[in-house]
Amino acid sequence: MKVIWQSPSNIALIKYWGKHDKQLPNNPSLSLTLSKANTTTSLALEKKSSKKKIDLAFTFEGKENRKFSEKIETYLSSLATDFPWLEGHRLLVNSENSFPHSAGIASSASAMSALAVCLLSMDSKLKKKKNRSDFFELASFYARLGSGSAARSVYGKFSVWGKTKEIKNSSNKFAVPFPVKFHRSFENLQDTILIVHDGEKNVSSSAGHALMRHHPMEKQRYRNANNRLKEILSAFKKGDWESFCIINESEALELHALMMTSNPSYILMKPETLALIEKIQTFRKKTKIPISFTLDAGPNVHLLYPDSEKKKVQYFISNELLPFCADGKVIYDEMGNGPKQIS
Ligand code: DP6
């Protein structure tokens, strides 16, 4: 028995930074689901061949990978009560990324969501449950346990993870799709990832989340995130690009400000990150084209802009931004539709 799913990465516009208990977020977050940056995972069951509780054979792009394999084994062991069949079979798992490894794209969101969707899909197959109405909600729940941001990757377009009074069925335990119709100018929102540095991160997200406990700006941060979520929802509905740009950039800079003022503190931006930010803001002021940036927990810049301005913005990228990217590396991505079953 085999299932194969492809699941995308996402970029948070309202950031999840700080968690408690079992992967529960300290504030609601909202993300754009990407289209081209994704992970394809296959899960096959065979007759058990060892006495180990979890009999896993994991390969990444066809090759053994110890670090990933250990992480997945721990994750699967933690789910054995929910999916008892995990302990009764040999599990063959292979994952492939569409984007180059260490391209500076958060791969845990696509990887963990692809695996969670495969688990749910296999579970439904074994239980002969077709068209489960709560399929993606459950997939989001299990993806969250692997990596918080992965909870948001199971839906297309925009998704929200974390309890907020702005959205009726929102929850800390799973993400929900964007609940209302957004303005058509946000349809096919473009995200060009300007790769400043493609090495491994020197601080893990988990360590970063932990530093939010007793952070001097802790309370204000959660207030800001809640307020900005409300504002961005309204900007989406109205097609208010001016507010959208301000909210995006405030969130990105605040995330990095939190890292810079934690104890121990750290700086993930590089000189090229700042040079790009300056170029982007100057271009916006001069042309009135609503481009804006957001940042992940790293130095790379995500440039967001409307589909209708694609030609002009991509000309600007080629001429003025590429010199700041590592070996001219850039990924032209855009709003995506969420996970896809391959077989
Ligand atoms: C800055 O989801 O990678 O990208 O739950 O510990 O796996 P874990 O953390 P992770 O944190 C992502 C942080 C972020 C912001 C975001 O995606 O919301």
Atom of ligand 1 nearest to the CA of 149: 2
Is 209's C-beta closer than 6 angstroms to any atom of ligand 1? yes
Compute the distance from residue 56 Cα to the ligand 1 centre, in Å.
26
Atom of ligand 1 nearest to the CA of 108: 3
Q: Are 260 and 289 within 8 A, CB to CB? A: no
Give the per-residue pLDDT at 343.
Answer: 75
Tracing tokens 């609601």 back to the chain, one arrives at 28
pLDDT beyond 90 at 201: no
pLDDT tens-digit series, residues 129-170: 988 999 999 999 999 999 999 999 999 999 999 999 999 999
Compute the distance from residue 44 Cα to the ligand 1 centre, in Å.
28
CB atoms within 10 A of CB 220: 11
CA-to-CA distance for 124 and 219, rounded, in angstroms?
A: 42
pLDDT beyond 80 at 19: yes
pLDDT tens-digit series, residues 20-55: 999 999 999 999 999 999 999 999 999 998 889 999
pLDDT beyond 70 at 114: yes
Mean pLDDT of 276-288: 98
Give the per-residue pLDDT at 204.
Answer: 84
pLDDT beyond 90 at 244: yes
Q: How do 175-177 and 190-194 pair as beta strands? A: unpaired
| Number of residues written out for the chain | 343
pLDDT beyond 70 at 101: no
Is 147's C-beta closer than 6 angstroms to any atom of ligand 1? yes
Mean pLDDT of 100-121: 86
* 3-state SS assignment for residue 214: coil
247: confidence class by pLDDT, cuts 50, 70, 90? very high
Query: Ligand 1: which of 23, 27, 149, 211 to mutate, judged by most atoms within 8 Å of the beta carbon?
Result: 149
Give the per-residue pLDDT at 205.
Answer: 86
Give the per-residue pLDDT at 131.
Answer: 87
